[in-house]
Structure 1
Amino acid sequence: MCRSTDVKQAVLARNDDLAAALRGDLARRGTVLVNLLSSPGSGKTELLGRVLARAVERGVPVAALTADLATENDARRLARSGAPVQQVLTDGLCHLEALQVRTRLEGWLPEDTAVLFVENVGNLVCPASYDLGETLRIVLMAVTEGEDKPLKYPTAFGSAHLVVVTKTDLAEAAGFDEDAFRANVHRVNPGVGIVRTCARTGDGVDTLLDHALEARDGAPPHHPPLAPRPHDHTVHRTPGDETVHDHHPHPATTAP
């Protein structure tokens, strides 16, 4: 094994240790962390803003961290919900790590927070390999992105506890084939739940919040992520289909 691989394995292993400790600390205070992953332009920020606003309306104490490479635009947008929001600037780093999350939470996260949403950097490659201490990992995709995206990014979709389709009001105009999309999702993550949402109309907003609260109350995710060997290359073969190569992260797990 080359030295660069050894270093990467060590970095991921240390991140996993920090994530597990953070997950335990949050569980003891009654907070669940929800990690949101998507490509840029999926509508993740707008949908999250709707979820936060709905939580405030329902009296659910929530908070959000949002990550970006250079600007605080998303934090300003999310703060309109009335929920506590903090920005994490990664200075060019294409993903968040558990240490960044823990450091940003120190002295800031309100004690009564039930759900902490973390909006990861817009990217479906690097963020998928890093456990942030989440109990619920949600991967989002807009109907405009193409039905084959789960096959292109099997690590992200394969490690999701829940998959969310966004911008469903544009499905017909975009020619979105939902049946094909669902088949592709379940090819890389058999049985995972799929939720349809539209930030414009509010469809699916309460459903997402309810999923987070269920995870906080101890209900297992609706479908566990795939669990191959941590930080190793695996190969998935579907009878009659081509081989899909994937590099899986250490899966997020529910704290005891």
Structure 2
Amino acid sequence: MRVDVVHNVLKLNDALAGGIRARLRAAGVFCPNLISSPGSGKTTLLEQTLQHFAQEWRQAVVVGDLATSLDAERLAPFAQTVQINTDGGCHLDAAMVSNALEHFDLDEFDVLYIENVGNLVCPVGYDLGHDTKIGLLSVTEGEDKIVKYPRLWREADLVLLTKADLLPHVPFRLERFMDDLRQLNGTVEVIHVSSTSGEGLDAWFEWLRARRATQSATPAT
């Protein structure tokens, strides 16, 4: 009975996510979903991303956190931002995102970023209507997070190894990280990024630009 309940919840979520995806596609809005542990650098990376594309794209952000609006306040100077507080919930779901979309006129935006709740487990199983799923791992967390939390890395369209400037200073086994990742997802692209040194940011921006162009060429269904 418990399994049936879980399946029913996910089925409802997937139906809502399909509606979100259709709305975004019809409006021509590209939607990346960023997932990572707390403190991996999602918000800082989004600050830089929003500024980089400020003259190219009309951007908006949905931020998920258990509490506070601290991350949304950091991003608000650069884009229209909606904060979702889950009050202890470990992930966003499609119903939350659908409600957040009521705060946006989608025809006024080109890109809607979702900064998911900091967690490597719960957010992965919930479709939010996004176009692409991006997993972030900071070198300070250790390479073992690949094998400990495999689903995110198996499903990710891109892996960002953040805080890459610290690689010489932390015991992060890069070769082991890559070997374990390739066992889970043999084709996923990996970009080393540092919001401090700027390493990899151009590659990240180009990946986003190319991915959005691909999505824009796909007809809405």
Residues 217-249 of structure 1 show CA distances to partners (whole Å, capped at 9, x for unaligned) of 2259xxxxxxxxxxxxxxxxxxxxxxxxxxxxx
Q: Counterpart in 1 of 2:164?
A: 168
**Runs of 4+ off more than 3 Å:** none
Contact between 2:36 and 2:118, CA under 8 Å: does it hold in 1?
yes
Distance in 1 (alpha carbons) for counterparts of 2:102 and 2:140? 38
Give the number of aligned pairs.
219
Percent identity among equivalent residues?
A: 41
Correspondent of 2:202 among 186, 192, 206: 206
Contact between 2:140 and 2:170, CA under 8 Å: does it hold in 1?
yes
Which segment is superposed worse, 198-207 or 182-191?
Answer: 198-207
Contact between 2:30 and 2:215, CA under 8 Å: does it hold in 1?
no
Q: Does 1:54 align with 2:52?
A: yes
Q: Counterpart in 2 of 1:79?
A: 76
Distance in 2 (alpha carbons) for counterparts of 1:210 and 1:33? 16
Distance in 2 (alpha carbons) for counterparts of 1:24 and 1:204? 32
| Greater fraction helix | 2
Q: Which runs of 5+ in 1 are unaligned?
A: 221-253
Distance in 2 (alpha carbons) for counterparts of 1:255 and 1:134? 13
CA drift at 1:109: 4.2
SS of 1:32's partner is coil
Counterparts of 1:152-163 in structure 2 under 5 Å?
Answer: 152-163=148-159
Q: Which runs of 5+ in 2 are unaligned?
A: none
User: What letter matches 1:60 in structure 2?
Assistant: W
Q: Counterpart in 2 of 1:30?
A: 28
Contact between 1:197 and 1:205, CA under 8 Å: does it hold in 2?
yes
The TM-score normalised by the length of structure 2 is 0.93
CA drift at 1:110: 4.8
Q: Counterpart in 1 of 2:7?
A: 9
The TM-score normalised by the length of structure 1 is 0.81
Correspondent of 1:105 among 77, 101, 108: 101
The alignment's C-alpha RMSD in Å is 1.8
Counterparts of 1:92-131 in structure 2 under 5 Å?
Answer: 92-131=88-127
